[in-house]
């Protein structure tokens, strides 16, 4: 029977395994050095914060794997030998394969800062990072202050985690405003304010200069590059993005760039080796996407796709409309379609921004300056219905249409305050339009009776 081996038991690898099992009887093996069973990486923060226990992060009960005949091996793959179709584990074990799926994920970026390898300096990606954090910052007596470097999604999550144990946090962000390489100004501003509400010492426009260690090689302070200010701290979180986890492939002959180079079928330069998830790098970016997408659901989608190909239905990785979501402390964020920051905005892209006068609620809608076509929407503090926006993007609806039917897309819990009328009133003022919101219609939402 054909042997499928998957390296990595994250969302990409596990999705591939599950779908291959659904479609076939092939022999499936997953190798991971991280944990015995698949867990949801995105939930690591909740374990540290005490919202969940680690076992709650495991989406499948432990009997699931045996029942579905998915072999799990805990081990570290040291070498891949594509010529002999053989993997070598650190413990010397050799594992043959017919088809290999690389789903090794990513690791935290380190930009060569002095002291970046001291004890107490860490990222937040793996289970091991979580364990390290428990050791480095168990409470505010052992860790009197923590410094988090890098203003992205993991950075702000790490700040939230540390604050849950009342550890003072200094948050060093290179940009002049939080995540403003991605978020438009108004939104970025709103999050800046929210970060400060949570008593996080936010330092915008600053870079890490150096990390200082004590005589035991443990971090004791950092220096801020711009000001030379020294901040005493017992833990430093490096959260300036991630990079594909591919060091073990260096001499394998598999074509590498920043990540593992793949074509649209997720094939590497060897036809029986695939790469999916965070570690895969497209030869050419797909649409407005980045060549390496370190996003939960793209990993899942690549897993779904590669399973089709391996089971005989050769399928291109062809992601649909962009979407994503996150939570910044207490503020939820969702995005559908493309809304670029001022820095990356296309020349035809026009923005409409609305923010509630008191609450932490705002939206930014991007539309085409000439045609009025709807391009994308960011929301903060309002949940939106994915299916509806996906359809509007496919049907290339106009911005006016979207606003008129905005009530269809609302996904907030029942009885929540609705903001559509305020939003549309502001739009009408801004653009001199006369749009009136339509009542929510299940017929339209579910495309019934069309």
Partner 1 sequence: MNNTADRSMALTGEPPKALNLQQKLATLFGMTGMGILVLALMNINFENRALWLTLSLLAISGGIVWFSYAAYANTQPGIKNDGVMFKSISSRGFWGWIAGIALTGFYIVLYFYPQYLGLTKEGDNTGLIALFDPLSKLLSGNPASQWFVYGTLYTVAILAFGIKFLYKYRHNAYERLRTISVMFFQTAFAFLIPELMARLNGEGFSLPYYDLKNIWPLNYYNFERYRVNSFIDAGDIGLALLIFGILSIFVITPILTYKYGKRWYCSWVCGCGGLAETAGDSFRQLSDKSLFAWRVERWVVHSVVVFVTLMTTAVIYSYLGNDTSKYWLTKTTFLIGVATFLTAIFAWVMIYKREQLKKDATYGAIGYFVIIIALIGIHFFSGDGNVFLFKSEALRKTYSFLIGSIFSGVIGTGFYPIFGNRVWCRFGCPMAAILGFQQRLFSKFRITTNGGQCISCGNCSTYCEMGIDVRAYAQKGQNIVRSSCVGCGICSAVCPRGVLKLENGPAKGRINSQDVLLGNDVDLMQLVNENK
By the rule CB under 8 A, 384 interacts with partner 1: yes
By the rule CB under 8 A, 33 interacts with partner 1: no
By the rule CB under 8 A, 318 interacts with partner 1: yes
The neighbouring-strand residues paired with 236 are 121, 147
Rounded Cα gap, residues 80 and 101, in angstroms: 11
Binding part of the chain for partner 1, among 93-101, 220-228, 339-347, 385-393 by CB under 8 A, reads 385-393
Exactly one of 383, 407, 426, 444 binds partner 1 (CB under 8 A); which one? Answer: 383
Kindly list the distances between the CA atom of residue 221 and the CA atoms of 236, 289, 351, in Å, as whole numbers in the listed order: 9, 38, 42
Exactly one of 265, 297, 352, 401 binds partner 1 (CB under 8 A); which one? Answer: 297
Give the burial class of 27: count Cβ atoms within 10 A of its Cβ; 0-12 exposed, 13-18 middle, 19 or more buried: middle
Binding part of the chain for partner 1, among 219-227, 234-242, 339-347, 384-392 by CB under 8 A, reads 384-392
Nearest to 275 by CA among 66, 80, 22, 24: 80
By the rule CB under 8 A, 417 interacts with partner 1: yes
CA terminus-to-terminus distance, the chain: 47
Give the burial class of 58: count Cβ atoms within 10 A of its Cβ; 0-12 exposed, 13-18 middle, 19 or more buried: middle
**Beta carbons of 288 and 338 less than 8 angstroms apart:** yes
Length of the chain: 450
By the rule CB under 8 A, 448 interacts with partner 1: yes
Min CB(132)–partner 1 separation in Å = 10
3-state class (DSSP) for residue 304: helix
Rounded Cα gap, residues 89 and 91, in angstroms: 5
Binding part of the chain for partner 1, among 177-185, 233-241, 301-309, 426-434 by CB under 8 A, reads 301-309
Binding part of the chain for partner 1, among 68-76, 88-96, 109-117, 300-308 by CB under 8 A, reads 300-308
3-state class (DSSP) for residue 253: coil
By the rule CB under 8 A, 326 interacts with partner 1: yes
Binding-residue pattern over the window 131 to 160 for partner 1, x denoting contact by CB under 8 A: ---xx--xx-xx------------------
Q: Which helix (H) or strand (E) holds 390?
A: helix 386-394
Nearest to 149 by CA among 167, 130, 119, 169: 169
Exactly one of 46, 274, 374, 380 binds partner 1 (CB under 8 A); which one? Answer: 46
By the rule CB under 8 A, 342 interacts with partner 1: no
Number of residues forming the site for partner 1 (CB under 8 A): 70
Min CB(352)–partner 1 separation in Å = 21
Rounded Cα gap, residues 279 and 116, in angstroms: 23
By the rule CB under 8 A, 57 interacts with partner 1: yes
By the rule CB under 8 A, 413 interacts with partner 1: yes
By the rule CB under 8 A, 398 interacts with partner 1: no
Cβ closer to partner 1: 93 or 441?
A: 441
Min CB(331)–partner 1 separation in Å = 8
Cβ closer to partner 1: 283 or 417?
A: 417
3-state class (DSSP) for residue 89: strand
Cβ closer to partner 1: 1 or 448?
A: 448
By the rule CB under 8 A, 397 interacts with partner 1: no
By the rule CB under 8 A, 56 interacts with partner 1: yes
Q: Could you please report the per-residue DSSP string of 103-127? A: ---EEE-----TTTTSBTEE-SSSH
Residue 113, CB half-sphere, CA atoms under 13 Å: how many?
A: 28
Helices (H) and strands (E) in the chain, counts: 12, 25
By the rule CB under 8 A, 119 interacts with partner 1: no
Residues 210-249 that bind partner 1 (CB under 8 A): none
By the rule CB under 8 A, 442 interacts with partner 1: yes
By the rule CB under 8 A, 334 interacts with partner 1: yes
Kindly list the distances between the CA atom of residue 226 and the CA atoms of 146, 147, 189, 205, 209, in Å, as whole numbers in the listed order: 19, 16, 22, 9, 8
Residue numbers at the binding site for partner 1 (CB under 8 A)? 11, 19, 22, 40, 42-43, 46-53, 56-59, 61, 134-135, 138-139, 141-142, 164-166, 197-198, 296-297, 300-301, 304-305, 308, 315-321, 323, 325-327, 329-330, 332, 334, 383-387, 390, 394, 411-417, 442, 445-446, 448
């Amino acid at each position: 029977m054909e042997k499928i081996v998957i390296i990595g038991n994250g969302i990409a690898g596990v999705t591939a395994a599950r779908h291959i099992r659904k479609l076939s009887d092939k022999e499936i093996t997953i190798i991971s050095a991280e944990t015995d069973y698949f867990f949801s990486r995105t939930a690591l923060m909740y374990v540290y914060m005490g919202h969940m226990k680690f076992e709650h992060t495991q989406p499948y009960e432990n009997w699931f794997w045996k029942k579905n005949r998915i072999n799990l091996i805990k081990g570290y793959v040291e070498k891949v030998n594509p010529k002999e179709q053989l993997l070598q584990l650190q413990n010397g074990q050799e594992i043959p394969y017919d088809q290999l799926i690389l789903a090794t994920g990513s690791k935290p970026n380190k930009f060569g800062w002095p002291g970046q390898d001291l004890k107490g300096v860490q990222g937040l990606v793996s289970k091991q990072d979580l364990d390290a954090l428990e050791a480095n910052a168990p409470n505010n007596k052992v860790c009197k202050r923590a410094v988090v470097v890098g203003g992205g999604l993991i950075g702000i999550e790490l700040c939230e985690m540390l604050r849950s144990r009342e550890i003072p946090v200094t948050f060093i962000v290179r940009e002049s405003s939080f995540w403003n390489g991605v978020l438009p100004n108004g939104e970025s501003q709103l999050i800046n304010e929210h970060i400060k509400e949570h008593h996080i010492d936010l330092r915008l426009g600053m870079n890490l200069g150096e990390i200082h260690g004590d005589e035991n090689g443990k971090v004791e302070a950092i220096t801020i590059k711009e000001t030379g200010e020294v901040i005493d701290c017992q833990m430093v979180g490096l959260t300036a993005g991630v990079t594909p986890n591919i060091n073990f492939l260096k001499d394998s002959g598999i074509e590498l760039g920043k990540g593992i180079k793949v074509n649209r079928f997720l094939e590497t330069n060897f036809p029986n080796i695939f790469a999916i998830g965070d570690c895969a790098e497209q030869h050419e970016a797909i649409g407005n996407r980045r060549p390496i997408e370190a996003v939960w659901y793209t990993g899942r989608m690549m897993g779904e796709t590669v399973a089709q190909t391996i089971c005989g239905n050769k399928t291109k990785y062809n992601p649909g409309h962009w979407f994503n979501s996150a939570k910044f402390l207490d503020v939820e964020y969702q995005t559908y379609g493309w809304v670029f920051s001022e820095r990356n905005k296309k020349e035809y892209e026009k923005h409409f921004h609305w923010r509630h006068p008191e609450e932490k609620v705002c939206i930014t809608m991007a539309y085409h300056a000439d045609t009025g076509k709807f391009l994308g929407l960011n929301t903060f503090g309002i949940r939106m219905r994915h299916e509806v926006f996906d359809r509007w993007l496919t049907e290339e609806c106009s911005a006016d249409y979207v606003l008129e039917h905005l009530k269809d897309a609302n996904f907030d819990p029942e009885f929540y305050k609705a903001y559509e009328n305020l939003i549309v009133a502001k739009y009408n003022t801004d653009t001199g339009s006369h749009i009136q919101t339509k009542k929510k219609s299940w017929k339209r939402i579910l495309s019934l009776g069309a």
